[in-house]
Amino acid sequence: MKNFIAFSFFLLMMSCGKKEVKKEAVVQENATVPPYDTIAVDSFSTGAVSVDIARKIKMSSLAYQDSLKEVRKKMEAEKLIQKEKEEQGKATKKVEEDVKKAEALKLKKEKEKSNPEISTPDNATKP
């Protein structure tokens, strides 16, 4: 039994003492360009288009160009309307000022007619 224990101990020591040789794999870098496009796309479905390309297509479409023209026309019309309102406002102010001036002159003339005294300067002496 002693021999069996010594023999198993000897085998155990020999099996633990083995060092396995690790093989290192050498990987070669492949610097070639892939034959396909690697740009990310919006979706993974067939025929998917990137956001930038879709935007360019939309901007070049006839409907988009027409809508831009309509917006420009509306903006120009709004500017013309606003100018007309400003001109009307200026005209009404001018008319109101003229009316006020005319009323003031009329009141002044009525005052002079109702008061027949000769108007003299304040610092002049009466005889």
Average pLDDT of the segment spanning 61-65: 80
Mean pLDDT of the chain: 78
More confidently predicted of 120 and 80: 80
At 33 the pLDDT is 66
Average pLDDT of the segment spanning 25-43: 64
In this structure, the dihedral spanned by the alpha carbons of residues 95, 96, 101 and 104, taken in order and rounded to 10 degrees, is 140
CA distance 97 to 78: 29
pLDDT band at 118 (very low <50, low <70, confident <90, very high): low
Separation of first and last alpha carbons in the chain: 167
Measured in whole angstroms, the distance separating CA 103 from the mean position of its chain's CA atoms is: 54
pLDDT band at 23 (very low <50, low <70, confident <90, very high): confident
**Over pLDDT 90: what percentage of the chain?**
27
Measured in whole angstroms, the distance separating CA 36 from the mean position of its chain's CA atoms is: 36
* Maximal C-alpha separation, the chain: 167
CA distance 42 to 51: 7
Average pLDDT of the segment spanning 25-40: 66
3-state SS assignment for residue 93 = helix
Residue 58 CA: distances (Å) to CA of 26, 34, 39: 50, 30, 20
